[in-house]
Structure 1
Amino acid sequence: MSVLSSVHMDKESLEESLKLLGYDNEDLFAYLQQKALGNPLIEVKVNKEFDERAVKEKTVVYKPDKDDPSDTVSAMEQVFEEVPALDTFLLEQIHANMRDTPLRELVLFLVAFINPEGYVTIDLDDAAEQKGVEPIMMLDALTLLHQLDPPGVGARNLQECLMLQTERDGYAPEIAYYILENFFQAFSDRNWQMIADEMDVELADVKAVFEYAQSLDPTPGSAFGDDSLSLPRPDLYLQTVDGHLTVKYNEWSSPVVVFQKDYYEEMMQYEDEDVQQFLAANKTEYEQLRSAVAFRKELLLGAGELITTLQKGFFLESRELKPLDVSRLADDLGISISDMREGVLNKMIETERGTFLMHQLCGE
């Protein structure tokens, strides 16, 4: 029985499920987060422990040596460091530390306008107009964003970036913040004597602040990963126990859709018909999304079990990979060949012999 024939869902839910299948974990998180922004009954969570582990550990990617036909495993030396993307890092902090409020929604909105260097690129008045809120509320959201790591993230310009870092540094020179706030142009032009005279401090003190400023990071976002370059985290991993292969879903890497039960029960107390319809529609969307995420997991597990079983000789007896018929695999799973290639075979599976793209295990 195929995976598709073992589940029951309407056409719309099935289309949503197959759409999610094509996403890697970072794209899936971003998609679910967009859904959550428009649905107060949905919260998206990720496991922070995996993210901390991913930064420290190396992922070994299997890549056969084309110049040596007999080499099927030795070229596992192409190693990448997994570095989380800046927006992912910020979103995880927001969901872990901020309550679900309208203000948090504005913080999430601002994250979408942070460039790779860590600066907010949208004017706050324009942002307030887009979200239909008062400018002061958007400023409050920016203030919350400024409290996140890395220090300086969310700044609107270099001056603000350096001020934010100085404000959070307990070892900063006592007059550093004041100079950056009130004499930034003169400070940048190295007009130190004028600043010393205006503040009635020693010239050496101003120079010390300049030396301190050189230690600050003008681009706090640059230390983070680029989504276009970083490897997706494996969706599956393969264990060998007593000569038996077991495929498991990598729960660490997958975002989880959580139902906001307290909010739902609180709003259910209102007898207003519009409120009830609003809750019903959003609960239906949550249930469809949860089913789609669960189906994605089930389908990837089914594909992993099918492919690794067919390649049992490779994993247990060090034989060469056998060429597999991808069309037959798609039929066995009950999905189209395009969904197989675009949604399944571009996923990764971590094994004791390295981390593989699924299409590699098909002999492609």
Structure 2
Amino acid sequence: MQFGLYQQQTTSLVMTQELRQAIHLLQFSAQELATYIQEQALENPLLDVKELPGLAEQTYSTYSKAFEDQTSPIDYAHIDRISLSEYLLQQVQELNITKKQKKELVYLVYSLREDGYVSRPLQDICNDLQIALAEGEKLLQTLQSFDPAGVGARNLQECLLLQLQRLDTPHIIAEQVISLYMEEFASRKWKDISKKLSITLADVQEVNDVIQTLDPRPGSQYISDPVQFVRPEIRIVPYEGDLLVHIEDDLIPSVGLNHHYEELLRKEQDHEATHYAKEKIQQVQWLMKSIQQRKQTILKVGEAIARHQKDYFLNKKGNLNPLTLKEIADEIEVHESTVSRATTSKFADTPRGIIELKSLFSSSIQNGMGESASSRSIKDWMKEIIASENKQKPLSDTKIVSWIQEKKDITVSRRAIAKYRDELGIPASSKRKRFE
């Protein structure tokens, strides 16, 4: 090894500011892009933004006021954003109790988590309030009598019991099972429970059906995050047996150069002002070009997806064809990451409803003849099979594999079936079995 000066020629990829901005904008949703444009307008006086009617009032992507003469179901939607604590405090004020008790109940309300459970040990709360534990228990019982049923519980078992006690028709067996054999019930050791309580497996099955109607997180319905609506950025429309794809231009404000400021700055004799004007003009031009490039890329990707999934869009019973990001990238001659950015958080209005572009991609599984089926199709078959199975003898993953092999001539591993079943939220056959 020795020190020295050497001359070497290499090639490397250098991202220009323009390219970096184009990539940055491509991954934005329509509303995020609109917000970004507004932020740029605050920093650049030469950026002229022609805001669309109603765009400023959109929380995510709701119907524009440009279409006020048209009605939508969203116009009639009532969004109740009251929080759990607000709802409980209203009930506290309706009680005929002393001011001291109300203050203590208010403190207890603010000691709840968003899901409705008590966030700390009751003894700690009693210490804060400087009251005895027995008095704290009475306060908690008062809170647990509020709506929604189950609020103020210290654990899941207590939450379920509170809800069972509030049912219109009392279910004594369910209360016994949850209070005495909660762990066995959760582990589906139903035969042990039936022996201990001298009841049938059908009775335990009925308990399970009742428990399924309860809410393990009673406060979650009152979490006051605003409801987010989306508007599709592209539309896929059937036309004479084919599909037309076009971009919705009304979601993003129009961007241009503010010629008034441009003239004023150009007339300035100050060299610094002239340099500033040139820099800001270049930023506007870059932004305009990036927005146009984003639009063209999304349109190309949408058109390519529509061609591949034509049968799915035109036929109500059509299945998604296997499709990967790489296939679309190769077809429109861009990088795979570009297709990923162009489909994430981008929605399309299609004959099948509003769909995220990303969800139209599906992995491929081949049969013995070289024909392929998408993983989405296999999931649809699985839902169909499981929905029609004998509930007393549910199909195992191995039997589902055999059915798909026999009926569809597609070879799928048992592990893949188990994975798809988990993704669909379908329990294993032992947990789907019914005893009635």
Report the TM-score, using the length of structure 1 for normalisation. 0.48
Report the TM-score, using the length of structure 2 for normalisation. 0.41
Higher relative contact order (CA 8 A, sep 6+): 1
